[in-house]
Amino acid sequence: MVAYRALLETCPADRIVMGGVSAGGNLAAAMTLRARDEGLPFPSAAILLMPEVDLTESGDSFQTNLGIDTVLIRSLMPANQLYAAGHDLSDPYLSPLFGDFSKGFPSTFLATGTRDLFLSNTVRMHRILRGAEITADLNVFEATPHGGFMVPTAEAEELRAEVNRFIQIQCPGVDVS
């Protein structure tokens, strides 16, 4: 929040894109909800790649992709509980999936893979955003595990192109070069 407030002093919100991968996707979504709740302007868009937006691990891919995801090979519940420090894991500032999106949220690009432990996080977040009539673009890549976009592959290049396309359409004032 401190960094976002400082950035807003020198850059208009419509030129800011908030994003993150995995836990960074959680932080980007949670920070955007908190900024909204504190009366700050939204960034022009959110980019959430394989986001950990549900620390309760209530989505079915936490079971169905356990042992299939080659990166996240076990439940993260011990780390989630440590991070939450006794707070309710469904608190929207910890698990943005449980936020009230009827109050608004920026246009959002989401990506995941069919073997990602966080597949359910991403799909459910997309459905919630669409249900709140927020522009949301969901991209699911075949056979991609968690973090599968972090290595140079054809899929990673395709994802980069899709993110750039989304930003060009949703955020005309933002330079993606």
* Domains present along the chain, CATH in parentheses: 2-6+17-170 (3.40.50.1820)
pLDDT confidence of 91, banded at 50, 70, 90? very high
Which pLDDT tens digit goes with each residue over 63-84? Answer: 999 999 999 999 999 999 999 9
Name the average pLDDT for the chain.
96
What is the pLDDT at residue 44? Answer: 96
CA dihedral for 114, 154, 27, 15, sign (positive or negative): negative
How many residues comprise the chain?
177
CA distance 28 to 165: 20
Say yes or no to pLDDT of 19 above 90: yes
Name the residue with tokens 């989304």: 166
The average pLDDT across 75-100 equals: 98
Helix (H, G, I), strand (E, B) or coil at 45: strand
What is the pLDDT at residue 151? Answer: 86
Say yes or no to pLDDT of 177 above 80: no
What is the pLDDT at residue 160? Answer: 95
What is the pLDDT at residue 134? Answer: 98
Say which DSSP state 40 is in: P
Say yes or no to pLDDT of 174 above 90: no
What is the pLDDT at residue 59? Answer: 97
Other Cβ atoms within 10 Å of 37 Cβ, number? 13
